[in-house]
């Protein structure tokens, strides 16, 4: 399945948010635990920008530091599985990256958004 929806832009303070996430996550990939610095440090939206609610989209709880390999894995494996309705793969990813993660109500709204997009309602 192609990625549903449209990707909103980044906020004006994106670079400042990235610095905060790197500090919070101690320059360490939250998935594999290896150092993630320089060009190998990717700030990931846990709930993809296409499906997260606008209000919580760029919240610190929806941002995670990932190394390049883990970011690619999430983008090319976890997200497509979620778009197909495979919630379990996404929840396994959440369990691995640990806290902070989006609230259960935010995640539920994202699942609803995926269902709407799958049914052509978005």
Average pLDDT over residues 109-121: 85
Q: Of 94, 96, 118, 97, nearest to 106 (Cα)?
A: 94
Residue 40, token pair as written in the block: 């190998």
pLDDT digits (tens, 9 = 90+) for 90-104: 999 999 999 999 999
Q: Please, which pLDDT band fits residue 40 given cuts at 50, 70 and 90?
A: very high
Q: Of 46, 38, 94, 36, nearest to 69 (Cα)?
A: 36
d(CA 87, CA 107): 10
Q: Say if pTM beats, i.e. exceeds, 0.85.
A: yes
Q: How are beta strands 63-67 and 41-45 bridged, if at all?
A: antiparallel
pLDDT digits (tens, 9 = 90+) for 22-35: 999 999 999 999 99
Confidence (pLDDT) at 1: 52
């Amino acid at each position: 399945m192609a990625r549903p929806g449209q990707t909103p832009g980044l906020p004006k303070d994106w670079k400042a948010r990235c610095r905060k996430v790197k500090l919070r996550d101690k320059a360490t990939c939250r998935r594999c635990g290896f150092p993630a610095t320089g060009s190998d440090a990717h700030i990931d939206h846990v709930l993809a920008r296409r499906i997260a609610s606008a209000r919580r989209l760029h919240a610190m709880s929806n941002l995670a530091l990932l190394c390049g390999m883990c970011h690619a894995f999430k983008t090319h494996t976890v997200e497509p599985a979620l778009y197909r309705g495979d919630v379990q793969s996404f929840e396994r990813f959440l369990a691995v990256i640990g806290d902070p993660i989006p609230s259960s109500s935010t995640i539920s709204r994202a699942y609803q958004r995926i269902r709407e997009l799958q049914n052509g309602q978005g």
